Chain A
């Protein structure tokens, strides 16, 4: 996993509530057995005017000029500004894979769906929860000012606007440690292998029917 320390990135505002994972990456692209290459199909049904299928040359497809991600001013965005309950729906990790593959590293929203939220951390994509009023303010500033960028400092747990206003955000120490260092979580867990083994052995003794 890519480490995440600080980022000063262009912001793209996606002004819709309840953006679901079917919208983030439609089901036909889930047939891939790879982890990469989902970026061009991020928000496929909103982003293009035709119907997308795996294997198409996306560079020749008609793009929807009214979809915010296609606006010239937001090309190269690394921060996605979103509304409440972002990432609701399925557990597909293809959703954070597609966001990350598109070049996004941070999503800021008033709330996220639980499974999507934890999937983000496994992929170097930082989901940041901010109060709805703060998100509202960021939307307004972003729309009003072309080239609007935010600075995200994971170590300090802050988001800073171009005018220097800073907002703190929460993250568990475990997730912060993994993201700052780009750590493989499985390796960390296996450091407790003896403990897992002992737990399992005791469970096999006391509740043997689970192991039939």
Chain B
């Protein structure tokens, strides 16, 4: 048999039916659902008089619209409240394997909650009406975002109409330096291949530096595969994956656990498997990253300067740089570590897991938020992450430094709730997108790691966390 990639194995084990043109019906194991992209799908299902195919595949939570403070007051915005209540009603009517509604301790950002609950298992196909579903590939899954019509299609048929992507291997060999995290690796990769570099591909991240990451770190990396244009990112199963899954509420136990582990151990690319594209990076070359523009590929290291459009020959790229500098309120050639910040956001499906909060807290060391920084929001990824952080005393470290310790949710990553930037405010953010208006109309986002965000909060400007 020819050597297969991990992607080949995951794909082939889920093909139900194949058309002559290569279009397949791909079986879906896990369907994650949140309040924003599902109401129209449930409505469509009902209007067509259809039943969900397998309710046991559904795991749901409310995250995008939920507030991160004053939970006793409920959801103040009536339109947000209606959307969350619509999810409550739909799950009540249809059912689910598990549902973590607003204020439940299991509630959280769906891509934090899924793996944390054991809802995401190696070897699964995992879909969700959310592009950051790529996160779950960290566990050796085929996981990607879908649109609302596809949410309805999966509800009704347990399959997706899909065509196989090309395969890309991104290999990072070596050891990451102190203060360099999975987020920096993700941004460095996007800086290298661009935001469309992975379009049409499923990416497997491999190499000694990737194997050296925790499963949480791999989630951060796979989360941002979509920012490189790839619907799906994945990492092969190893002992770290298996250790991560064991004991999770929805993970198998007993004899089934042993059978599952034996199967999961086959979930890696075979020796000699061929990829359509290969990208290689050296871990030692990756330094702490800071985005300066309005696309994640507009990224430099903290030791660099903001680029100068005069140095760019390509006219489309040049006007893109000019436009981004104007939106971001930056002057060409400004040293990154002289850019002051107004707001800091530590959270999102990219960086709100316990190790992210530990990394941010470890930078504080008794120091205070800088006077020019107006707000620092620390938003844990789930109720369970919040409880864990509080058990470790991280919340006290944040509060003593002048940071705000919030309830879990998507929060200022996309500003659908009340947490948002005011026009012109500049934010050091651990989220995944620095698009115009992403964190609030006119807001200016710089993507960084949790440690870099915490350091910026204390210094009042970007600073190299390795020497801070």
Contact = CB atoms under 8 A, between A and B. Distances in A.
A93 B153 CA distance: 14
A28 B147 CA distance: 18
B227 to A, nearest CB: 8
Interface string B33-60: 0001101100110001010011010000
A211 B416 contact: no
Given A22-B414, A115-B146, 11 more contacts: A18-B320, A27-B415, A30-B416, A33-B83, A35-B43, A84-B196, A111-B199, A123-B149, A186-B156, A200-B27, A209-B121
Interface in A145-200: 172-174, 184-186, 189-190, 192-193, 195-196, 199-200
DSSP class of B's interface residues: helix, strand, loop or mixed? loop
Q: Which 9 A-B residue pairings sit nearest by Cβ, starting from the closest? A: A122-B149, A209-B252, A119-B147, A93-B147, A91-B145, A33-B39, A93-B148, A85-B196, A91-B131
Q: Which of A23, A32, A114 has the most CB of B within 10 A?
A: A114
27 contacts: A16-B323, A18-B196, A23-B437, A26-B441, A30-B416, A31-B65, A33-B39, A33-B82, A45-B436, A89-B435, A90-B145, A91-B133, A92-B36, A112-B199, A114-B230, A115-B144, A172-B22, A174-B19, A174-B21, A186-B50, A186-B156, A189-B159, A196-B53, A199-B16, A207-B123, A210-B29, A210-B124
A22 B161 CA distance: 26
B396 interface: no
Nearest to B129: A91
B333 to A, nearest CB: 23
Interface residues of A, number: 59
A6 interface: no
Contacts of B40: 33-35, 93
A25 to B, nearest CB: 11
A63 interface: no
Contacts of B152: 186
Interface in B111-159: 121, 123-124, 129-131, 133, 144-150, 152-153, 156-159
Contacts of A189: 25, 153, 156-157, 159, 161
Contacts of A193: 157
B259 A22 contact: no
Nearest to A212: B252
Interface string B162-175: 01010000000000
A20 B50 CA distance: 33
A31 B416 contact: yes
B396 to A, nearest CB: 33
Contacts of A33: 39-40, 43, 82-83, 86
B295 interface: yes
A184 B19 CA distance: 17
B257 interface: yes
B438 to A, nearest CB: 5
Nearest to B130: A91
A7 B175 CA distance: 56
Given A45-B436, A203-B27, A27 B48 contact: no
B23 interface: yes
A61 to B, nearest CB: 13
A208 interface: yes
B256 interface: yes
B250 A212 contact: yes
Contacts of A96: 147
